[in-house]
Structure 1
């Protein structure tokens, strides 16, 4: 399957009024277009072979099979995710979308997929020194963050004293911790679990429980008027595939 790169993602507000492809149009085309940023392991990421992989990638393929549709993955980013969906560049956003009040007001959100919340992932060398937010938000601490998602929102709202290093994307966040050019990043419980298990003694969860008030869940997101597609997704989620793949990818099912 192609992992298409979207061109010209700068969109004007009128894009919000572009009507979604109807379920009938999707079925006639034979293709379900799934937008993923592709930098959020274990939900959607580029593996060692350069291929798109992850829990949500397998979920998308299984959904497509159930609907008798080919799945076409479309590259998006966290800063442009909502605008790209609003512009009808794809039918459904997957790969780590957090349910928020703003997204719920503007789009159609699926039933909860994976349990989540914000935690601190750190270089193992300093993880024990950063057990809570008060220890993280100190002038001597270097905190790395990428733009556009709920991680940036948390940092902007809670970090007042730590040194904030802003990087391009989530790959750069992780590399900064590996290189020890940064001490810590705010990320999701899902991602923290994954990288702590994948890179022991390199990446460690400084906090193993979500910060108070950050408890959340991941969802799939469609345009507000695409009710039939959302109904199809929610009906499909009631089957066994969700639980089977959650066990396979070691994610905490909602």
Structure 2
């Protein structure tokens, strides 16, 4: 089902090799939205294999504001930036963290929701992994998938613990459920969601972001698409963000 969705999006968007301007997007009648689709509660597949989440609803709200139809393209964290550069979609959503390196290459929107890096662990070991010093031990197994800011944090900060590298973010979660790994580094948004959805299975080992990792989620467009970014930033204060945040259990302020 996931592959079918991606193929349909590709077919709809084929033949557009150059970056589309804001006016071309409006005139086309559709907005191409890229999402990795493995980041609950922002963009993910539910048990019915339906693409859902806070950012999926936000994309629909943005498209309604622009009077166009959203078309979702399934990307991945390792290919997110290149897919945007290749004009496979107009806007990247679904868990994009504002970083300096991304800001140097692309345009990023105003803050969507605040965030930061935390440790999500299998509940039976969570209490023993409450700091980075306790995590970075030879007997601790840290699971991570490639291509995103979680991997960057692990590469920069985990030197002694065992690092298990898996294909995607869903494999991280499953490793914790299966107890083949002790812990994953993730965003506060995602950690809070899984702790709420799977009590006594998945627990936050650290419930506030690691120092220096405080950040926020944003939407990302190509560097030459200032008019589209302006439209996004104008829409945000008038969007359904607060209602959708309540619907999906997303906190709009760090405690």
Q: What is the aligned partner in structure 1 of residue 143 from structure 2?
A: 144
Q: Which moved more, 1:21-30 or 1:155-164?
A: 21-30
Q: Is the 8 A contact 1:41 1:54 kept in 2?
A: yes
3-state SS of paired residue (2:186): strand
Q: What is the aligned partner in structure 2 of residue 100 from structure 1?
A: 99
Q: Is the 8 A contact 1:94 1:220 kept in 2?
A: yes
User: Which residues in structure 2 correspond to 1:48-127 (within 5 Å)?
Assistant: 48-127=47-126
Q: What is the aligned partner in structure 2 of residue 10 from structure 1?
A: none
TM normalised by structure 1 equals 0.93
3-state SS of paired residue (2:207): coil
Structure 1: 4+ residue segments shifted above 6 A = none
Partner deviation per Cα, 1:26-80 (whole Å, 9 max, x = no partner): 1111000000000000000000110000000000001111111000000100000
Cα distance in structure 1, aligned partners of 2:116 and 2:238: 25
Q: What is the aligned partner in structure 2 of residue 178 from structure 1?
A: 177
The alignment status of 1:191 with 2:193, answered yes or no, reads no
Cα distance in structure 2, aligned partners of 1:76 and 1:231: 24
Q: Is the 8 A contact 1:44 1:56 kept in 2?
A: yes
How many residue pairs were aligned? 244
Offset at 1:240?
4.3
3-state SS of paired residue (2:142): strand
3-state SS of paired residue (1:96): coil
Q: Is the 8 A contact 2:144 2:166 kept in 1?
A: yes
Cα distance in structure 2, aligned partners of 1:143 and 1:188: 15
3-state SS of paired residue (2:163): strand
Q: Is the 8 A contact 1:112 1:219 kept in 2?
A: yes
3-state SS of paired residue (1:71): strand
Offset at 1:167?
0.2
3-state SS of paired residue (1:98): coil
3-state SS of paired residue (1:95): coil
Q: By percentage of residues, which structure has more strand?
A: 1
Cα distance in structure 1, aligned partners of 2:167 and 2:60: 29
Q: What is the aligned partner in structure 2 of residue 252 from structure 1?
A: 251
Q: Which moved more, 1:153-162 or 1:236-245?
A: 236-245
Offset at 1:19?
4.6
Q: What is the aligned partner in structure 2 of residue 213 from structure 1?
A: 212
TM normalised by structure 2 equals 0.93
3-state SS of paired residue (1:164): strand
Contiguous gaps of at least 5 residues in structure 2? 11-16
Q: What is the aligned partner in structure 1 of residue 13 from structure 2?
A: none
Q: Is the 8 A contact 2:33 2:89 kept in 1?
A: yes
Cα distance in structure 2, aligned partners of 1:106 and 1:116: 21
Cα distance in structure 2, aligned partners of 1:101 and 1:240: 26
Cα distance in structure 1, aligned partners of 2:56 and 2:5: 11
User: Which residues in structure 2 correspond to 1:20-39 (within 5 Å)?
Assistant: 20-39=19-38
Q: What is the aligned partner in structure 1 of residue 240 from structure 2?
A: 241
Q: What is the aligned partner in structure 2 of residue 3 from structure 1?
A: 5
Partner deviation per Cα, 1:162-199 (whole Å, 9 max, x = no partner): 00000000000000000000000000000000000000
Q: What is the aligned partner in structure 2 of residue 12 from structure 1?
A: none
RMSD of the alignment, in Å? 1.5
Q: What is the aligned partner in structure 1 of residue 131 from structure 2?
A: 132
